[in-house]
Structure 1
Amino acid sequence: MRSKLEIRDIILKLDHQMADDFEAQDLDFKQWNERSREDNIKTMISYAVCMANGGGGSVVFGVADKVIGLDNAIKGIPEDIDVSLLQKRIYEKTDPHLTPFFDEVFIENSRILIMNIFPGMPPYTTTDGAGTIRQGKDCLPFTGTLRRQMMDSSGQADFTSEIIYEDWHNLFSHSAMERIREFMSRERADHNLLSLSDEDLLTSIGALKEGFFTKGALLLTGKPESIERIIPQHKWSFRKMLSDTDYSHRDDGFHAIPVALYELERYISVDNPMVTIESGLVHPEFSTYPTIALRESLLNAFGHRDYRMTGTILLKQYKDKLVLTNPGQFIGGITPNNILHHPPVARNNHLMDLLDRLKLVNRSNLGVSRIFRSLLIEGKEPPIYREIGGHIELFFISSPLNNSFKNLVKQMVDDGNHIDVDHLLILQYLIRHEQINTIIAAEVAQRSMEQARELLSKMYNEFNLVEPVGRGKGRYYTLSRHSYDLLKENMKYERQQSLDKEAVKIRILSILKERPLSNKEIRQLTGMNSKQVQRLITELRPDGVELRGKGPGTRYLYNPEK
């Protein structure tokens, strides 16, 4: 990736050389087509795909590449070209989505636009299925042979496994290693591993290769100044938000992951209210945001973020929610609607291996399940994932402890019944709704229709937690009398208005991106009435939601090009 300063220096040499002489694997120059703005956007989309498949690079718009002389080469682009609109169009027209980063330079009073494409997880194509790949100075058709070659070699393209050829002692942070050893002790790591010296421990887990740090090792045990110099895109930030635009406190850093984790947890704990439950001689305390959920989500953000992209892992704490954002997109077929049960896919295999060997994470995809479970067993809202632009957002809704629900789960476990996350999600849904059918159960538990039927059947026949009403397609389930008794109170259903409105919108939008919904289906999902659903859809129209059809055939669907 060329820097803005480097590209500017190249442009200033065009009095005596052609821009074509400087074009390379990661650099191209394109003249702006003054006759058709749409053709320029199509060119940008095509080159975004080409560069992404070729390992990333920069495309400079507004410079003719086959002429000599600064006055002849500098053509510029119109001042009214909106960069955010270009990003939106490229994002919408690429698959998987690409979000370029634009830089501007002004030379001879002309505006030059630099489109930077970061390396990702190819292959990429346009939404029409067309694809090219950068080979030298050309964008070649992305044929089956080239795709096979790229896929065969992609296993070695792990940024975190790259070796840093410097004396690792000068990069090493003793405080970061101390945090790691604390984690390992708490997770009951092997005593023989804990008894090793720092160097032997790092060597045994693969953090030291040939006597040098890997970038993954630096991210785990490096000094902040070393990380900032070598991996400047690794950064964490915290904001205590007063509103969507104002905050009362902020902090940023380049600390190693264990130290960053400690700092972020410390900030959250300042305003993470605790509830004490009297239970005999023991009075356990429960925080609004469970420690397990916070730690697993933060470690996932650090472990899976795209370290080849600029950006920061940002944790925003609002009065009623937490929002965790990390650079990168879902990979390997993972989406917000299947993340709970999808097989594990790692962007940074080496870093995740190190975290696993140090007992900081589990490679068996248990982290997401732990996040869900730690919230659900306390009767709290499950987390909400969404992909926006080139980032992944995770929402935690501030929910009070539901002690009755916790007692229900405990009683079931005491009776020898294994309650997993799928059952908890369905129970949690039924506390806020009068009924659930197979379609909704499949959506809620992120399972297939057949799996959802089996879940509901088991909850009825074995656990006696739900009971069926009706037959055939109209069959639905409600909480059983046994469930009411376990809840130990005259429970009235809490309608979905108790759920944060933004969370409702995020969930409906997420489902609409997968399939259309009717007004009735949205009512079943949210507990809203018909008029409330109509108002909800009106609020979602700026996000690309539209209405199709009339009468009983009316459907709401997501149209990203709207």
Structure 2
Amino acid sequence: MYDVVQRALSAIAAGQTPDSQESAHLDFKEDPARAAHPRGNPEAHRLQILLDTAICFANADGESFIVLGLRDKARGPEAFTGTDASPQDIASKIFNRTRPNLTVEARAEEFAGRRLVIIRVPQGLALYSRTDGAAARRTGTSCIPLSDGARQQIRFSRANPDRTAAPTALDTDDLDGIALAEGIRRFNSRHPDDVIVSSDELLRRLGLRNHDGGLLSAAVVLFGHPLGAQPSAQHLWRPAPGAEPERNDLDDPLILAIPQALQRIRSHSNAELERIELPTGQERQIRDFPERAVDEAVLNAFAHRDWTLGRPIVIDQSPVILSVDSPGGLPVGVRRDRLLTTSSAPPNPTLMSALHRLGLVEETSRGFDRMWIAMLGSGREAPEVEADESHVRVAFAAPVDSPGMVRALSLLPDVIGATATTNLNVLLALRHLARASALTEAGAAALFQLSRAECRAVLAWLVGIGLLTADQPARSWSLAPRVRSILRAQQVPAPADGGIEAAVIDLLASGPVTNRRIVSATGAPAPVVTEVLRRLASRGVIEKDPDGPARGPAVRWRASGTAPPEEK
């Protein structure tokens, strides 16, 4: 942005006053040592002026400049009073007298026969103040002291920066005309009572210009080419898992790339991977990858990716696996084990808001819960998610491993209600209890991704709708008998507590077995196994091996009245 400074200096040299050229990101200061009537200590006065102005700019948005060596009200060459100040000394003192330390760049330049110092203040990364705590923020051409609320807002926004709100040097003519026309079409379709006709009006209504009228980065992402020569996304089609892919680059602006990506996925999809006959007399057609899950994964990838990274989104598709790999980590505050329940500020709120107004995304949707519901409700495993600081990858497996669950879900509305069969916690519980006999509070908290208190409330609700029954002594929950009968009738295993007892007795028939092996063999939660073992021991069916450990997972159990054979 040094060209902005040069244009302003040229205008001043041509007869304008410095204050007429000031803006939210540019300020001119006179060196007190060159004032007509210097007062006190000019160097100390100069430092305070520059220190306060640098803090003011750093707490605002975007890159800014301070030019030292001009008198505000003078015109033409008379405005250039110059300075002998050291750029290195200015940068060092601003750094040492701010909290946290603010790094600025300062350099001397000759202009109109005078030596000036140009100070670049970068986009701030935190809330900045003087060492005594004083802080202000640039608003227009003024520095306004910060209230406590404003300080908190800056701290939060700096901890969760919206890179799509960064100013750019581009204008409407630099954007893609076809993309802008599509934006107008979508906006008018979404808001038929508020029709717009021009690209500039579209950008303004979408909040894609800053207070100075400049385009924000989100405008370039939506309607331009933010990654330059690099495609924003790639679609890889593999005729078989691991086969050499056919690659298609998606290098159009975001508003065009999103539907292109979804179309490419659908063009390679199998709309009838499986057809399941339901006990209700209907049929359900299962496609390889549920459209709702795919839409959420793709939209999340484009909306939440880190647009400062030059890597593309990679959509890798085969007949049995689909993955969407997005540059950048999870939103701040979101953990991989809380994807389903954590509400977070989106990483690109300016872009998200524009996408929402265009009807492409829901502004507050997490997306992950919808992916889970679509996959679990079609008899499949939940999506797999890999995430670190550099990327988020969501993968779907096409095979329907439990068609019986799809059939059972068609019968459950008569038991638990129609809306409950598409409830995420219901589907999670059913999937878990199709493999294990019971669910503990700790296990449920991890499964539902909730706190213990929230989990207890959800478990009570699941009991109330008739899905689960509670075993208070064992502090565990299992499927209600009618629900278990429906699942078993549709060839879903749904083991019961009694099944664990039988499995334990069978295991012990060939000799002592440890707690650890019983848990592994039955697939039941450890607390449930402990309660079953306690009940069998109280009835005299089993006993601890006296030659083994007294407690812990290595405790050995044997059938009562048997001599201990060789250890397992």
User: How does the TM-score come out when normalised to structure 2?
Assistant: 0.55
- Counterpart in 2 of 1:204? 205
Match of 2:172 among 168, 171, 174: 168
Change (3 A) 1:398 1:527: farther
Within the candidate set 217, 220, 235, 1:218 is matched to 220
Instruction: Work out which of the residue numbers 57, 80, 103 in structure 2 matches 1:135.
Output: 103
Residues of 2 paired with 1:236 and 1:260: CA distance? 8
Paired AA for residue 481 in structure 1: P
**Aligned residue type for 2:236:** R
| Matching residue's letter, 1:236 | A
Counterpart Cα distance in 2 of 1:174 and 1:413: 50
Rounded to whole Å, the distance in 2 between the matches of 1:211 and 1:372 is 42
Partner of 2:443: 440
Note the 1:530-549 alignment, pairs <5 A: none
Please report how far the alpha carbon of residue 263 of structure 1 lies from its aligned counterpart in structure 2 after TM superposition: 2.4
Equivalence for 2:342: 342
Which residue in 2 is equivalent to 1:227? Answer: 226
Aligned CA distance change for structure 1 residues 281 and 358 (closer, same or farther; 3 Å): farther
Q: 5 Å matches for 1:430-509?
A: 430-460=433-463, 462-469=464-471, 471-472=472-473, 474-487=474-487, 489-493=489-493
- Post-superposition Cα deviations, 1:364-391, rounded to whole Å, max 9, x if no partner, equal 2342322222223323322222213521
The amino acid that maps onto 1:445 is F
Contact 1:168-1:212 within 8 A present in 2 as well: no
After TM superposition, give the deviation of residue 292 of structure 1 in Å: 1.6
Counterpart mapping for 1:153-302 below 5 A: 154=158, 157-175=161-179, 177-178=181-182, 181=185, 185=189, 189-193=190-194, 196-209=197-210, 212-222=214-224, 226-229=225-228, 235-241=232-238, 246-269=243-266, 270-274=268-272, 275-276=274-275, 285-302=285-302
SS for the counterpart of 1:425 is helix
User: In structure 2, what residue type is equivalent to 1:403?
Assistant: V
8 Å Cα contact 2:233-2:251 kept in structure 1: yes
Q: Distance in 1 between matches of 2:377 and 2:422?
A: 10
Q: Partner of 2:140 in structure 1?
A: none
Distance apart, 1:446 and its partner CA = 0.4
SS for the counterpart of 2:552 is helix
**What's the offset of the Cα at 1:234?**
6.2
Matched to 1:395, the amino acid is: A
Q: Tell me the number of residue pairs that the alignment of Structure 1 and Structure 2 aligns.
A: 368
Matched to 1:552, the amino acid is G
Measure the CA separation in 2 of the matches of 1:444 and 1:152. Answer: 31
CA distance in 2 between partners of 1:345 and 1:252 (Å): 30
1:351 is displaced (CA, Å) by 0.7
- The equivalent of 2:11 in structure 1 is none
- Closer/same/farther in 2, CA of residues 245 and 427 from structure 1, 3 Å limit: closer
Contact 1:314 1:325 in 2 (8 A): yes
Selected match of 1:424 from 404, 427, 439 = 427
Structure 2: give runs of 5+ residues left out of the alignment.
1-60, 62-99, 106-125, 134-150, 496-515, 527-549, 555-568
Q: CA deviation at 1:338?
A: 0.8
1: CA distance, partners of 2:184 / 2:381: 31
Q: Which residue of structure 2 aligns with residue 372 of structure 1?
A: 372
Question: Under a length normalisation based on structure 1, what TM-score does the superposition of the two structures give?
Answer: 0.55
- 1:249 deviates by 1.0
Partner of 1:106: none
Q: Does 1:356 align with 2:361?
A: no
1:220/1:258 contact within 8 Å kept: yes
Identity of paired residues, percent?
21
Distance (whole Å) between structure 1 residues aligned to residue 523 and residue 180 of structure 2? 45
Q: Secondary structure at the match of 1:333?
A: coil
- Matched letter for residue 427 of structure 2: L
Match of 2:108 in 1: none
CA displacement at 1:318 relative to structure 2? 3.6
- Name the CA distance, whole Å, in 1 between partners of 2:101 and 2:435: 50
Structure 1 residues 39-59: Cα deviation after superposition (integer angstroms, max 9, x where no partner): xxxxxxxxxxxxxxxx9xxxx
Distance 1:408 1:264 in 2: 36
SS at match of 2:324: strand
What is residue 123 of structure 1 aligned with on the other side? Answer: none
Change beyond 3 A, Cα 1:227–1:524 = farther
Is this contact kept in 1: 2:331–2:347, CA < 8 A? yes
- Counterpart residue number, 2:32: none
**Residue 287 to residue 519, structure 1, CA distance change in 2 (3 Å):** same
User: Which segment drifts farther, 430-439 or 281-290?
Assistant: 281-290
2:179–2:255 Cα contact (<8 Å) kept: no
Letter in 1 for 2:103: Q
The offset of 1:334, in angstroms, is 0.6
* Contact 1:323/1:393, CA 8 A, preserved across alignment: yes
- Give 3-state SS (helix, strand or coil) of 2:337's partner: coil
Q: Secondary structure at the match of 1:477?
A: strand
Map of 1:388 onto structure 2: 388
* Rg comparison, structure with higher value: 2
Distance in 2 (alpha carbons) for counterparts of 1:292 and 1:416: 18
Quote the offset at 1:282 in angstroms. Answer: 8.4
Asked if the contact 1:332/1:345 (under 8 Å) is kept, the reply is yes
- The CA deviation string for residues 471-528 of structure 1, in whole angstroms up to 9 with x for no partner, is 43x3333322322455483434289xxxxxxxxxxxxxxxxxxxxxx88777787999
Equivalent-residue separation in structure 1 for 2:365 and 2:325 (angstroms): 20
Question: What is the Cα deviation at residue 288 of structure 1?
Answer: 2.3
Q: 1:255 to 1:450 in 2, by over 3 A?
A: same
The SS at the match of 2:380 is coil
Equivalent residue, structure 2, for 1:129: none
Q: 1:273 to 1:247 in 2, by over 3 A?
A: farther
Superposition RMSD on alpha carbons, in Å?
4.2
Contact in 2 for aligned 1:408/1:483 (Cα 8 Å): no
1:315 is aligned to 315
Q: Distance in 1 between matches of 2:482 and 2:338?
A: 31
Deviations 1:432-471 (A, max 9, x none): 33332222111111011222222222212x22112234x4
Cα distance, 1:379–1:243 mapped onto 2, change above 3 Å: closer
- Which runs of structure 2 are paired with 1:25-44 in the superposition (5 Å)? none
**For the structure 1 residues 314 and 519, does the alpha-carbon distance in structure 2 shift closer, same or farther, using more than 3 Å as the test?**
farther
In structure 2, relative to structure 1, the CA distance for the partners of 1:551 and 1:391 (3 Å cut) is farther
Deviation at 1:354, TM superposition (A): 0.9
